[in-house]
Structure 1
């Protein structure tokens, strides 16, 4: 097997192959032959699916500088070295079904990366720098352990497809994903939301109401919004309720960008029309077959994703309601 592998790589080097298939080779280590001398400078696509790799070489980008597509599906990789960020031509990276606990921080330096698939790993979080990838069009992170996503995710116009299905701890999505194609079935957990009264605090003639979820802080089923989101919603209602002649929120008291955002939220709850600024709760509704759906990419069924402002609205919203 070793001699056959070396022969395959040697032929690829001599004939300057652009594609190399090393799937199903029972590889436990990255082949040193690929890294020999100057490496394979002409190689653009490397397929290493369904092996037993545990690590990747740190000099991968140096030896295979022109990689456009790298497929590492179904291995035992625990860590991706930071030097993967040096693959400047890389457009597709598939490292799904491995044992990753984290993604490399320098991955955002792969400026050509368009398709990133890290399904079925053990990821707890997503590096915020990933939001800076200028060419990223599709991001798939289904079947991980994600509890939250960076608030900036989806801010790039290039990112159109995000799949986070079956992340049971993930209970909300950044509002920048509002108009993207989202896969989020199997996310979050079903809870019974009891009826609670709104909390409030007063100062003189001014009363500010806080969302009911604040009361759940510290309980087993707390689903608490980020402080930034709570503050934005409270300021929004206060700003639109207080008479303008009181000049409560003036350009001096708040930055101009924040005032502009208060005037125009990024979205509104499908259940109660509550404004949403940085965080939403998604709810997927598979729809029946419809002839019109077949006009789009040949599909005959379509789905609808509703966006809610709280777990209470999430539980009570229905398309027929």
Structure 2
């Protein structure tokens, strides 16, 4: 096998191949033949899936500077070197089915990267620098041990497909609702109890899958009439099923456990006055946010705590009826699934749609199918 591997690489060097296939070669150590002398300066695509490689060389970018695609699916890689950030032309990186426990921040330097696959590893967290991959289109993080996602992912403005199935997520950063090109978002088999209030507000987001999140009882009404996967949601093994259609608005904070921490008040149809703190935040938002929705530049200096400045830039949500930004209070209105047109599609769930409104007036006049 070693002779065959040597011959394959030798021919690739002699004939200046742009593609090199080293799949299923029982390779334990990254082949030194690829790194000798000047390396393979002309190589653009390297396929090394289903081997037993444990590490990558530090001089990978130096010896293979023109790599566009690197496929390392199904190896035993535990760590990738910081030098990988020097692969300036890399567009596709597949590290699925490895043993990665840590992703180095230098991955954020791969500014040409469009497709990143990290499924079936042992990742517990991700570096914020992933948000620097502004050309990224596909990100697969399924089957890891992630408990959160970096808020800075909202900077990946071209992201279209985000898959985070089979992790340990308890929440989704509301900032991800600003991914205007996101079309497919899969969060199945996590530990979610609520979703961002604005999820589905973007017209481009058409496919959302949250199956097997047993504590998830409500879907934002923005998701109505979109392709939704929600089987196995709404019934917690620790508690009996609740009939949400009979729950008063003021008690929804107890039933829909896990509303964003910033939501301090749950309003009802009887409330006619919005709290002063909320009115002040809305006023500040109007003063400092007269910009296009895609303008994510920092806000002008204001003498407020950082938490409130972050909230001004990324509100908890927007009214599902009038689009008013909301910060500390929401007025939820439930539409049990059995009363909607989707009841026949999702029979293995007790999840409901929830409209989050900014006032008692919008609460009374909102119609899910209007």
Contact kept? 1:50, 1:73, Cα under 8 Å: yes
CA shift at 1:69, angstroms? Answer: 0.3
Structure 2 Cα separation of the partners of residues 103 and 75 of structure 1: 16
Structure 1 Cα separation of the partners of residues 72 and 285 of structure 2: 48
- Greater Cα shift, 251-260 or 100-109: 251-260
The residue aligned with 1:83 is 106
What secondary structure sits across from 2:131 in the alignment? helix
The residue aligned with 2:353 is 307
Task: Name the count of aligned residue pairs.
Answer: 262
Contact kept? 1:20, 1:45, Cα under 8 Å: yes
Note the residue ranges of structure 1 that are not aligned, 5 or more in a row.
Answer: 200-208, 217-221, 269-273, 289-304, 311-318
Q: Deviations over 1:111-146 (max 9, x none)?
A: 111100000000000111112211111110000000
CA shift at 1:95, angstroms? Answer: 0.5
Structure 1 Cα separation of the partners of residues 6 and 269 of structure 2: 65
Contact kept? 1:229, 1:276, Cα under 8 Å: no
Normalised TM-score (structure 1): 0.67
The residue aligned with 2:63 is 39
Change in 2 beyond 3 A, CA 1:85/1:212: same
The residue aligned with 1:17 is 43
Q: How does 1:141-156 map to 2 (within 5 A)?
A: 141-156=164-179
The residue aligned with 1:234 is 267
Instruction: Pick from 13, 37, 55 the counterpart of residue 29 of structure 1.
Output: 55
What secondary structure sits across from 1:153 in the alignment? helix
1:52 matched to 2:76: yes
Q: Deviations over 1:252-273 (max 9, x none)?
A: 84542668999x60369xxxxx
1:129 matched to 2:156: no
The residue aligned with 2:27 is none
What secondary structure sits across from 2:262 in the alignment? helix
Superposition CA RMSD, Å = 4.2
The residue aligned with 1:95 is 118
What secondary structure sits across from 1:59 in the alignment? helix
1:178 matched to 2:200: yes
1:266 matched to 2:299: no
Structure 1 Cα separation of the partners of residues 71 and 253 of structure 2: 49
Structure 2 Cα separation of the partners of residues 73 and 251 of structure 1: 45
Normalised TM-score (structure 2): 0.59
Structure 2 Cα separation of the partners of residues 214 and 307 of structure 1: 15
1:211 matched to 2:250: yes
Structure 1 Cα separation of the partners of residues 79 and 188 of structure 2: 26
Note the residue ranges of structure 2 that are not aligned, 5 or more in a row.
Answer: 13-19, 21-38, 216-234, 288-314, 323-329, 346-350, 357-367
Q: Deviations over 1:138-158 (max 9, x none)?
A: 110000000001012122211
